[in-house]
A = this chain, B = another copy of it.
């Protein structure tokens, strides 16, 4: 426990004053009285720190003490909790986290990358000093899904947790879907509108979603964080025709992070999936996020809300501060680090499911027979096939939906076709959410 005196203000040092940091200040200014009623005490920004003091952030920072050297914060007795909004898996954020937690200073962060890579070490530090390490804002923005898993669903053995964890990807995919446009075109617009970064790789290649999935999996299953074993595919290779074919078959395409735990091990994957239109995830549009958890007593829980942006992320950061102010917190990953189990990664090839395969092929006799033979020899059973020619500039598209089967058979199909001069470009494989 820390030196929090009931009813004394909770004095916060805020490190990092980007969009979210500004949002936290605005939120505390706007809702301060209500928050004090709920938290039982005032939550007060006592000190701020960021790289550039002179940048205009559109919020009045004059009431707050500016701290040039954030490494002094951990030792300050007039600071009750440090909020880290710098980002980055390593570097200054990690240094600050380690300093604070080792010194027994409660720590709130939105830093999913740091947690995915160093969460266990940080949780162990927090455990040793008995203080809070909170990170509701790290996953799914304003949606209280960390709390939902850590506490709300805590009575359940959870077999699967999955969701739409990256708003940029979801915005791009749903805009492609609604407007029939191509990936590059929509990405460019998203960058111009500020919905995607100038360097978008972190989002569109699925890395951000993989960080979040790593955290969710640990909370859901009571397993150690294992970012290294998340299989990641982003959305760069989804083309307009995939979305159209999927729609014709009764599916929408979403970037889905899926984690499953069972006797075969821990399975973690981020990839674009075909989601049946009657599944709630198919209706998660634009920059919304959503998370589904399936528990053995509660059944399917579904959480949806705004997954990014100033307001929602600030809402989650301040929710953590309220928990700290109320003295309602415990182990960061729902149990002591030593109680988390080390689960072996599952063999994806043994997973049973249906898949979508799309080939771009030469428009000439024999190609269909070649692909059909490869699927047959690999043991893949075909449920439906669409071939469309004519309007493709180069070659024709062939889309296949398989019956349920082992995923390794899909890989074998592709291996059998590798190097064939019938194929134009790399085939696209997406699995179907059941």
Interface residues of A (CB under 8 A from B): 23, 27, 30-31, 34-35, 37-40, 136, 142-144, 147-148, 151-157, 222, 280, 283, 295-306, 311-312, 314-319, 321-323, 326-331, 334-336, 339
Name the residue on B nearest A330 (C-beta). B326
Name the residue on B nearest A334 (C-beta). B38
Number of copies: 2
> What residues on B are CB-neighbors of A37 within 8 Å?
222, 335, 339
Bound complex: CA of A327 vs CA of B144, how far in Å? Answer: 20
Check A301–B31 contact: CB distance below 8 A.
Answer: no
| Cβ-defined partner of A315 (8 Å) among B297, B306, B314, B330 | B297
Bound complex: CA of A76 vs CA of B186, how far in Å? Answer: 66
A302-B301 contact given A37-B335, A38-B154, CB 8 Å threshold: no
Name the residue on B nearest A221 (C-beta). B34
Check A143–B301 contact: CB distance below 8 A.
Answer: yes
What distance in Å separates the Cβ of A9 from its nearest Cβ neighbour in chain B? 16
Q: Which of A35, A297, A331 has the most chain B CB atoms closer than 10 A to its own CB?
A: A297
Check A40–B335 contact: CB distance below 8 A.
Answer: yes
Check A144–B152 contact: CB distance below 8 A.
Answer: yes
Check B331–A330 contact: CB distance below 8 A.
Answer: no
> What residues on B are CB-neighbors of A296 within 8 Å?
30-31, 311
What distance in Å separates the Cβ of A405 from its nearest Cβ neighbour in chain B? 30
What distance in Å separates the Cβ of A56 from its nearest Cβ neighbour in chain B? 22
> What residues on B are CB-neighbors of A329 within 8 Å?
328
Check A298–B40 contact: CB distance below 8 A.
Answer: no
Bound complex: CA of A171 vs CA of B148, how far in Å? Answer: 26
What distance in Å separates the Cβ of A185 from its nearest Cβ neighbour in chain B? 25
> What residues on B are CB-neighbors of A315 within 8 Å?
153, 155-156, 295, 297-298
Please list 30 pairs of residues, one from A and one from B, whose beta carbons are closer than 8 Å in the complex, sorted by A's number.
A30-B157, A30-B297, A31-B155, A31-B296, A34-B222, A37-B222, A37-B335, A37-B339, A40-B331, A142-B299, A143-B152, A144-B148, A144-B151, A147-B151, A148-B152, A151-B322, A151-B328, A155-B322, A280-B304, A297-B311, A298-B305, A298-B312, A298-B315, A299-B305, A299-B311, A299-B312, A300-B306, A301-B303, A327-B330, A328-B330
Check B314–A305 contact: CB distance below 8 A.
Answer: no
Name the residue on B nearest A158 (C-beta). B34
Not counting A143-B152, A283-B283, a sample of 10 additional A-B residue pairs whose C-beta atoms are within 8 angstroms of each other reads: A31-B155, A38-B334, A144-B301, A147-B147, A147-B148, A151-B328, A154-B318, A154-B322, A155-B316, A156-B315
Check A301–B305 contact: CB distance below 8 A.
Answer: yes
What distance in Å separates the Cβ of A16 from its nearest Cβ neighbour in chain B? 18
